[in-house]
Structure 1
Protein backbone atom coordinates (compact mmCIF):
# COMPACT_ATOMS: atom_id res chain seq x y z
CA UNK A 1 0.00 0.00 0.00
CA UNK A 2 1.38 3.37 -1.02
CA UNK A 3 1.62 6.01 1.67
CA UNK A 4 0.62 9.61 1.14
CA UNK A 5 4.24 10.64 1.65
CA UNK A 6 5.51 8.36 -1.14
CA UNK A 7 2.70 9.57 -3.41
CA UNK A 8 3.68 13.23 -2.77
CA UNK A 9 7.33 12.32 -3.33
CA UNK A 10 6.55 10.76 -6.70
CA UNK A 11 4.48 13.83 -7.62
CA UNK A 12 7.42 16.12 -6.73
CA UNK A 13 9.83 14.02 -8.79
CA UNK A 14 7.48 14.18 -11.78
CA UNK A 15 7.17 17.97 -11.38
CA UNK A 16 10.96 18.44 -11.25
CA UNK A 17 11.49 16.16 -14.26
CA UNK A 18 8.73 17.70 -16.36
CA UNK A 19 8.68 21.35 -15.33
CA UNK A 20 12.14 22.20 -13.93
CA UNK A 21 14.72 20.08 -15.76
CA UNK A 22 13.89 21.53 -19.19
CA UNK A 23 15.13 24.89 -17.85
CA UNK A 24 18.51 23.53 -16.73
CA UNK A 25 20.39 24.67 -19.91
CA UNK A 26 19.26 28.26 -19.32
CA UNK A 27 20.38 28.14 -15.67
CA UNK A 28 23.71 26.62 -16.75
CA UNK A 29 24.13 29.39 -19.33
CA UNK A 30 23.45 32.02 -16.66
CA UNK A 31 26.06 30.42 -14.38
CA UNK A 32 28.52 30.08 -17.24
CA UNK A 33 28.15 33.78 -18.05
CA UNK A 34 29.50 34.41 -14.54
CA UNK A 35 32.73 32.64 -15.61
CA UNK A 36 32.36 29.85 -13.05
CA UNK A 37 34.35 26.64 -13.51
CA UNK A 38 32.34 23.75 -14.94
CA UNK A 39 32.72 21.78 -11.70
CA UNK A 40 31.20 24.64 -9.69
CA UNK A 41 28.32 24.90 -12.15
CA UNK A 42 27.63 21.17 -11.81
CA UNK A 43 27.73 21.47 -8.01
CA UNK A 44 25.35 24.45 -8.00
CA UNK A 45 22.88 22.69 -10.32
CA UNK A 46 23.04 19.55 -8.17
CA UNK A 47 22.52 21.54 -4.96
CA UNK A 48 19.60 23.33 -6.62
CA UNK A 49 17.96 19.99 -7.38
CA UNK A 50 18.61 18.88 -3.78
CA UNK A 51 16.86 21.99 -2.47
CA UNK A 52 13.91 21.36 -4.77
CA UNK A 53 13.70 17.76 -3.58
CA UNK A 54 13.25 19.05 -0.02
CA UNK A 55 10.18 21.15 -0.90
CA UNK A 56 7.03 20.42 1.06
CA UNK A 57 4.83 22.15 -1.51
CA UNK A 58 5.42 23.16 -5.11
CA UNK A 59 2.02 23.60 -6.75
CA UNK A 60 2.08 27.31 -5.92
CA UNK A 61 5.14 27.82 -8.18
CA UNK A 62 3.90 29.61 -11.29
CA UNK A 63 7.22 29.71 -13.18
CA UNK A 64 9.37 26.64 -12.42
CA UNK A 65 12.28 27.88 -14.56
CA UNK A 66 12.49 31.20 -12.74
CA UNK A 67 12.06 29.41 -9.41
CA UNK A 68 14.98 27.08 -10.20
CA UNK A 69 17.17 30.00 -11.38
CA UNK A 70 16.38 31.94 -8.19
CA UNK A 71 17.18 28.88 -6.07
CA UNK A 72 20.56 28.37 -7.76
CA UNK A 73 21.30 32.11 -7.71
CA UNK A 74 20.65 32.19 -3.95
CA UNK A 75 22.95 29.20 -3.42
CA UNK A 76 25.66 31.02 -5.37
CA UNK A 77 25.14 34.24 -3.40
CA UNK A 78 25.43 32.30 -0.14
CA UNK A 79 28.65 30.65 -1.31
CA UNK A 80 30.15 33.98 -2.31
CA UNK A 81 29.10 35.54 0.98
CA UNK A 82 30.80 32.74 2.95
CA UNK A 83 33.98 32.71 0.83
CA UNK A 84 37.07 34.25 2.37
CA UNK A 85 38.34 35.52 -0.97
CA UNK A 86 35.67 36.88 -3.23
CA UNK A 87 36.18 38.03 -6.81
CA UNK A 88 35.53 41.76 -7.14
CA UNK A 89 32.83 41.19 -9.77
CA UNK A 90 31.16 38.74 -7.39
CA UNK A 91 30.58 41.56 -4.91
CA UNK A 92 28.58 43.52 -7.44
CA UNK A 93 26.63 40.35 -8.31
CA UNK A 94 25.77 39.78 -4.63
CA UNK A 95 24.66 43.39 -4.25
CA UNK A 96 22.58 43.14 -7.40
CA UNK A 97 20.98 39.92 -6.17
CA UNK A 98 20.26 41.34 -2.73
CA UNK A 99 18.53 44.42 -4.11
CA UNK A 100 16.75 42.72 -6.97
CA UNK A 101 13.00 42.42 -6.84
CA UNK A 102 11.21 39.42 -8.31
CA UNK A 103 10.38 41.12 -11.61
CA UNK A 104 13.39 41.20 -13.94
CA UNK A 105 14.44 44.54 -15.34
CA UNK A 106 14.24 45.17 -19.09
CA UNK A 107 18.03 44.96 -19.22
CA UNK A 108 18.00 41.60 -17.43
CA UNK A 109 15.30 40.30 -19.77
CA UNK A 110 17.31 41.41 -22.81
CA UNK A 111 20.44 39.80 -21.40
CA UNK A 112 18.56 36.59 -20.65
CA UNK A 113 17.19 36.57 -24.20
CA UNK A 114 20.74 36.98 -25.54
CA UNK A 115 21.96 34.11 -23.37
CA UNK A 116 19.07 31.92 -24.47
CA UNK A 117 19.85 32.82 -28.09
CA UNK A 118 23.47 31.81 -27.53
CA UNK A 119 22.41 28.48 -26.05
CA UNK A 120 19.93 27.85 -28.90
CA UNK A 121 22.62 28.63 -31.49
CA UNK A 122 25.03 26.24 -29.79
CA UNK A 123 22.35 23.53 -29.67
CA UNK A 124 21.63 24.07 -33.38
CA UNK A 125 25.35 23.63 -34.15
CA UNK A 126 25.54 20.20 -32.47
CA UNK A 127 25.86 17.08 -34.64
CA UNK A 128 22.41 15.86 -35.74
CA UNK A 129 21.91 12.88 -33.40
CA UNK A 130 23.48 14.70 -30.47
CA UNK A 131 21.28 17.78 -31.09
CA UNK A 132 18.13 15.68 -31.32
CA UNK A 133 18.90 13.88 -28.06
CA UNK A 134 19.68 17.14 -26.23
CA UNK A 135 16.45 18.68 -27.51
CA UNK A 136 14.35 15.69 -26.48
CA UNK A 137 16.02 15.27 -23.07
CA UNK A 138 16.64 18.85 -21.96
CA UNK A 139 14.04 20.91 -23.81
CA UNK A 140 11.13 18.49 -24.22
CA UNK A 141 11.89 16.86 -20.85
CA UNK A 142 11.63 13.28 -22.07
CA UNK A 143 13.18 10.44 -20.11
CA UNK A 144 16.30 8.66 -21.27
CA UNK A 145 14.25 5.53 -21.97
CA UNK A 146 11.67 7.46 -24.03
CA UNK A 147 14.37 9.05 -26.16
CA UNK A 148 16.11 5.70 -26.70
CA UNK A 149 12.83 4.13 -27.83
CA UNK A 150 11.95 7.06 -30.10
CA UNK A 151 15.34 7.07 -31.79
CA UNK A 152 15.87 3.30 -31.81
CA UNK A 153 19.19 3.45 -29.95
CA UNK A 154 20.39 2.01 -26.63
CA UNK A 155 19.98 4.14 -23.50
CA UNK A 156 23.78 4.34 -23.15
CA UNK A 157 23.92 6.18 -26.49
CA UNK A 158 21.30 8.64 -25.23
CA UNK A 159 23.24 9.16 -22.00
CA UNK A 160 26.60 9.59 -23.77
CA UNK A 161 25.22 11.93 -26.44
CA UNK A 162 23.39 13.99 -23.82
CA UNK A 163 26.60 14.43 -21.83
CA UNK A 164 28.56 15.15 -25.01
CA UNK A 165 26.00 17.75 -26.11
CA UNK A 166 26.00 19.54 -22.75
CA UNK A 167 29.80 19.52 -22.71
CA UNK A 168 29.93 21.04 -26.23
CA UNK A 169 27.38 23.69 -25.23
CA UNK A 170 29.33 24.57 -22.07
CA UNK A 171 32.61 24.69 -24.01
CA UNK A 172 30.96 26.97 -26.57
CA UNK A 173 29.61 29.29 -23.87
CA UNK A 174 33.01 29.36 -22.18
CA UNK A 175 34.73 30.15 -25.50
CA UNK A 176 32.24 32.96 -26.18
CA UNK A 177 32.83 34.33 -22.69
CA UNK A 178 36.61 34.20 -23.20
CA UNK A 179 36.20 36.04 -26.51
CA UNK A 180 34.08 38.74 -24.86
CA UNK A 181 36.69 39.14 -22.10
CA UNK A 182 39.51 39.33 -24.64
CA UNK A 183 37.63 41.97 -26.66
CA UNK A 184 37.06 43.99 -23.50
CA UNK A 185 40.75 43.73 -22.52
CA UNK A 186 41.81 44.90 -25.98
CA UNK A 187 39.58 47.99 -25.74
CA UNK A 188 40.68 49.01 -22.24
CA UNK A 189 42.57 52.31 -22.06
CA UNK A 190 46.31 51.85 -21.83
CA UNK A 191 46.13 48.44 -23.54
CA UNK A 192 46.63 49.69 -27.05
CA UNK A 193 42.89 49.86 -27.65
CA UNK A 194 40.71 52.88 -27.97
CA UNK A 195 39.78 54.78 -24.85
Structure 2
Protein backbone atom coordinates (compact mmCIF):
# COMPACT_ATOMS: atom_id res chain seq x y z
CA UNK A 1 0.00 0.00 0.00
CA UNK A 2 1.27 3.48 -0.85
CA UNK A 3 1.15 6.53 1.39
CA UNK A 4 -1.43 9.24 0.64
CA UNK A 5 1.41 11.64 -0.15
CA UNK A 6 2.82 9.26 -2.78
CA UNK A 7 -0.62 8.80 -4.33
CA UNK A 8 -1.32 12.55 -4.34
CA UNK A 9 2.06 13.25 -5.94
CA UNK A 10 1.41 10.58 -8.59
CA UNK A 11 -2.08 11.97 -9.32
CA UNK A 12 -0.68 15.50 -9.58
CA UNK A 13 1.91 14.40 -12.12
CA UNK A 14 0.04 11.70 -14.06
CA UNK A 15 -3.70 12.46 -13.87
CA UNK A 16 -4.30 16.20 -13.44
CA UNK A 17 -2.33 17.21 -16.56
CA UNK A 18 -4.86 15.27 -18.67
CA UNK A 19 -8.00 16.90 -17.26
CA UNK A 20 -8.11 19.47 -20.07
CA UNK A 21 -8.01 16.73 -22.71
CA UNK A 22 -10.75 14.82 -20.88
CA UNK A 23 -12.96 17.91 -20.70
CA UNK A 24 -12.39 18.55 -24.42
CA UNK A 25 -13.37 14.96 -25.24
CA UNK A 26 -16.53 15.23 -23.13
CA UNK A 27 -17.44 18.52 -24.86
CA UNK A 28 -17.08 16.78 -28.24
CA UNK A 29 -19.50 14.17 -26.92
CA UNK A 30 -22.00 17.04 -26.45
CA UNK A 31 -22.03 16.87 -22.67
CA UNK A 32 -23.20 20.04 -20.92
CA UNK A 33 -20.68 21.96 -18.81
CA UNK A 34 -22.31 20.85 -15.54
CA UNK A 35 -22.32 17.21 -16.71
CA UNK A 36 -18.63 17.51 -17.58
CA UNK A 37 -17.87 18.97 -14.15
CA UNK A 38 -19.83 16.17 -12.44
CA UNK A 39 -18.14 13.43 -14.48
CA UNK A 40 -14.67 14.86 -13.84
CA UNK A 41 -15.47 15.23 -10.13
CA UNK A 42 -16.75 11.63 -9.96
CA UNK A 43 -13.57 10.43 -11.71
CA UNK A 44 -11.38 12.29 -9.19
CA UNK A 45 -13.41 10.87 -6.29
CA UNK A 46 -12.97 7.33 -7.62
CA UNK A 47 -9.24 7.88 -8.06
CA UNK A 48 -8.99 9.42 -4.57
CA UNK A 49 -10.39 6.21 -3.08
CA UNK A 50 -7.48 4.13 -4.40
CA UNK A 51 -5.16 2.57 -1.83
CA UNK A 52 -2.36 2.33 -4.41
CA UNK A 53 -1.63 3.58 -7.92
CA UNK A 54 1.22 1.12 -8.55
CA UNK A 55 -1.00 -0.92 -10.90
CA UNK A 56 -1.66 2.07 -13.20
CA UNK A 57 0.68 2.19 -16.19
CA UNK A 58 -0.86 5.12 -18.10
CA UNK A 59 -2.41 7.98 -16.12
CA UNK A 60 -4.23 9.45 -19.12
CA UNK A 61 -5.82 6.14 -20.08
CA UNK A 62 -6.79 5.49 -16.45
CA UNK A 63 -8.40 8.94 -16.10
CA UNK A 64 -10.37 8.48 -19.33
CA UNK A 65 -11.48 4.97 -18.32
CA UNK A 66 -12.48 6.16 -14.83
CA UNK A 67 -14.45 9.04 -16.36
CA UNK A 68 -16.16 6.66 -18.78
CA UNK A 69 -17.19 4.43 -15.87
CA UNK A 70 -18.45 7.49 -13.95
CA UNK A 71 -20.45 8.54 -16.99
CA UNK A 72 -21.97 5.05 -17.30
CA UNK A 73 -22.91 5.10 -13.61
CA UNK A 74 -24.62 8.47 -14.12
CA UNK A 75 -26.54 7.08 -17.10
CA UNK A 76 -27.65 4.07 -15.06
CA UNK A 77 -28.77 6.30 -12.18
CA UNK A 78 -30.73 8.47 -14.59
CA UNK A 79 -32.58 5.40 -15.81
CA UNK A 80 -33.71 4.43 -12.30
CA UNK A 81 -37.47 4.43 -11.96
CA UNK A 82 -38.89 7.43 -10.14
CA UNK A 83 -40.07 6.64 -6.62
CA UNK A 84 -43.62 7.86 -7.27
CA UNK A 85 -44.01 5.16 -9.92
CA UNK A 86 -43.13 2.38 -7.48
CA UNK A 87 -45.88 0.34 -5.94
CA UNK A 88 -46.56 0.94 -2.27
CA UNK A 89 -44.99 -2.41 -1.38
CA UNK A 90 -41.81 -1.62 -3.34
CA UNK A 91 -41.56 1.80 -1.70
CA UNK A 92 -41.88 0.29 1.79
CA UNK A 93 -39.05 -2.13 0.99
CA UNK A 94 -36.60 0.71 0.30
CA UNK A 95 -33.92 1.06 2.95
CA UNK A 96 -33.32 4.31 4.72
CA UNK A 97 -30.02 5.60 3.37
CA UNK A 98 -29.71 8.44 5.88
CA UNK A 99 -26.01 8.58 6.76
CA UNK A 100 -26.71 9.22 10.42
CA UNK A 101 -25.50 12.03 12.68
CA UNK A 102 -21.88 10.81 12.94
CA UNK A 103 -21.34 10.70 9.18
CA UNK A 104 -23.09 14.06 8.70
CA UNK A 105 -20.87 15.64 11.37
CA UNK A 106 -17.78 14.10 9.77
CA UNK A 107 -18.83 15.38 6.37
CA UNK A 108 -19.35 18.87 7.81
CA UNK A 109 -15.85 18.78 9.35
CA UNK A 110 -14.36 17.61 6.06
CA UNK A 111 -16.21 20.34 4.15
CA UNK A 112 -14.96 22.97 6.61
CA UNK A 113 -11.39 21.66 6.20
CA UNK A 114 -11.68 21.98 2.41
CA UNK A 115 -13.12 25.50 2.77
CA UNK A 116 -10.15 26.47 4.97
CA UNK A 117 -7.71 25.04 2.43
CA UNK A 118 -9.39 26.99 -0.36
CA UNK A 119 -9.31 30.17 1.75
CA UNK A 120 -5.58 29.65 2.35
CA UNK A 121 -4.74 29.59 -1.38
CA UNK A 122 -2.88 32.62 -2.78
CA UNK A 123 -5.41 35.32 -3.73
CA UNK A 124 -5.35 34.99 -7.56
CA UNK A 125 -5.18 31.21 -7.41
CA UNK A 126 -8.12 31.12 -4.94
CA UNK A 127 -10.21 33.45 -7.11
CA UNK A 128 -9.66 31.34 -10.23
CA UNK A 129 -10.10 28.06 -8.34
CA UNK A 130 -13.44 29.18 -6.88
CA UNK A 131 -14.72 30.49 -10.21
CA UNK A 132 -13.67 27.37 -12.12
CA UNK A 133 -14.11 24.50 -9.65
CA UNK A 134 -16.87 25.74 -7.37
CA UNK A 135 -18.99 28.06 -9.51
CA UNK A 136 -18.30 26.14 -12.74
CA UNK A 137 -17.53 29.27 -14.76
CA UNK A 138 -16.00 28.30 -18.14
CA UNK A 139 -12.27 28.85 -18.52
CA UNK A 140 -12.76 31.24 -21.44
CA UNK A 141 -15.14 33.44 -19.42
CA UNK A 142 -12.77 33.57 -16.44
CA UNK A 143 -9.90 34.57 -18.74
CA UNK A 144 -12.01 37.36 -20.23
CA UNK A 145 -13.20 38.57 -16.81
CA UNK A 146 -9.71 38.70 -15.36
CA UNK A 147 -7.91 39.82 -18.51
CA UNK A 148 -5.53 36.86 -18.57
CA UNK A 149 -4.78 34.03 -20.99
CA UNK A 150 -6.96 30.90 -20.89
CA UNK A 151 -3.93 28.69 -20.22
CA UNK A 152 -3.23 30.80 -17.11
CA UNK A 153 -6.72 30.05 -15.85
CA UNK A 154 -6.17 26.32 -16.37
CA UNK A 155 -2.75 26.49 -14.69
CA UNK A 156 -4.05 28.36 -11.66
CA UNK A 157 -7.10 26.07 -11.26
CA UNK A 158 -4.78 23.05 -11.48
CA UNK A 159 -2.31 24.66 -9.08
CA UNK A 160 -5.10 25.25 -6.57
CA UNK A 161 -6.20 21.63 -6.80
CA UNK A 162 -2.62 20.39 -6.39
CA UNK A 163 -2.06 22.60 -3.33
CA UNK A 164 -5.29 21.40 -1.74
CA UNK A 165 -4.48 17.74 -2.47
CA UNK A 166 -0.99 18.23 -1.01
CA UNK A 167 -2.43 19.78 2.15
CA UNK A 168 -4.97 16.96 2.46
CA UNK A 169 -2.18 14.42 2.05
CA UNK A 170 -0.48 16.00 5.04
CA UNK A 171 -3.51 14.53 6.87
CA UNK A 172 -4.68 17.37 9.00
CA UNK A 173 -1.23 18.82 9.66
CA UNK A 174 -0.66 22.54 9.96
CA UNK A 175 0.36 22.86 6.33
CA UNK A 176 -1.66 25.34 4.33
CA UNK A 177 -2.00 25.25 0.55
CA UNK A 178 0.42 28.12 -0.01
CA UNK A 179 3.14 26.63 2.20
CA UNK A 180 6.29 26.22 0.21
CA UNK A 181 5.03 28.17 -2.81
CA UNK A 182 6.69 31.19 -4.36
CA UNK A 183 5.78 34.65 -3.23
CA UNK A 184 2.67 35.64 -5.13
CA UNK A 185 4.24 38.97 -6.19
CA UNK A 186 6.94 37.17 -8.18
CA UNK A 187 4.30 35.00 -9.75
CA UNK A 188 2.23 37.82 -11.24
CA UNK A 189 -0.49 36.75 -13.65
CA UNK A 190 1.70 34.31 -15.52
CA UNK A 191 -0.08 31.32 -13.96
CA UNK A 192 3.15 29.42 -13.42
CA UNK A 193 3.40 27.08 -10.51
TM-score norm. by structure 1 comes to 0.50
Whether 2:68 is the aligned partner of 1:50: answer yes
Q: How many residues align?
A: 128
Q: Which one has more relative contact order, counting CA pairs under 8 Å at least 6 apart?
A: 1
Report whether the alignment pairs 1:17 with 2:36.
yes
Deviations 1:79-119 (A, max 9, x none): xxxxxxxxxxxxxxxxxxxxx96332221111111111111
> 1:1-195, aligned counterparts within 5 Å?
9-10=29-30, 12-17=31-36, 20=38, 27=45, 31=48, 47-54=65-72, 55-56=74-75, 102-177=97-172
Distance 1:124 1:102 in 2: 32
Q: Is the 8 A contact 1:35 1:174 kept in 2?
A: no
Contact 2:39 2:71 in 1 (8 A): no
Instruction: Provide structure 1 residue ranges, at least 5 long, that are not aligned to the other structure.
Output: 1-8, 62-99, 180-195
Structure 2 residues not aligned, in runs of 5+ = 1-28, 81-94, 175-193
CA-atom RMSD, angstroms? 4.0
Greater per-residue helix proportion = 1
Deviation at 1:14, TM superposition (A): 3.4
CA contact (8 A) 1:148 1:158 kept: yes
